[in-house]
Each structure stands twice: as C-alpha cells, then as structure tokens.
Amino acid sequence: MKIIVAVAFILILASLGSALVFLMRDKGKSNRTVTALAFRVGFSITLFVLLMVAYKLGWIQPTGIR
C-alpha cells in the first residue's frame, strides 16, 4: 500500500510540474496546462478514494498521534 501511495504522489507532482512547464512554454495559447491540471485533480481524487476504500477494507489502520 505504501508503494501505491508513493507512486500516486509522484504522479501528482509530475502532473503539476508538467503543467508549470506547459504554462511557461505555451504562454496560455494551448490547453495542455488545463489538461495536466485536470489529470492532477483526477490523480488526487483517485488517491483519496483509494485510501478510503483501503481503510474500510482494513488494509490500512490509523496510528494516531503519539
């Protein structure tokens, strides 16, 4: 589960970085920035849903603050 979460974070950061690159290169003349940001939102929502499902199925347990 840790690997899946780490990969999801890497995908989110890569999508955010590519959106920045597209924004700088295209100067707002194409939709590539919007598409990259839409993928980032999609990856974030997918990660959130995956964490909720994993918690409900007992794959992950809360540890709390110690």
Residue extents of the structural domains in the chain: 2-57
Q: 0.75 cut: is pTM over it?
A: yes
Close Cβ partners of 23 (under 8 Å, ≥ 6 residues apart)? 33
**Burial zone of 3 (CB within 10 Å; 0-12 exposed, 13-18 middle, 19+ buried):** exposed
pLDDT given for residue 37 in this prediction: 92
3-state secondary structure of 30: coil
pLDDT given for residue 63 in this prediction: 82
Average pLDDT, the chain: 90
- pLDDT (tens, 9 = 90+) of the chain, 66 residues, equals 889 999 999 999 999 999 999 989 988 788 889 999 999 999 999 999 999 999 999 888 888 666
**Burial zone of 45 (CB within 10 Å; 0-12 exposed, 13-18 middle, 19+ buried):** exposed
pLDDT given for residue 66 in this prediction: 65
Nearest CA among 9, 16, 13 for reference residue 35? 16
The residue to which tokens 């995956």 are assigned: 50
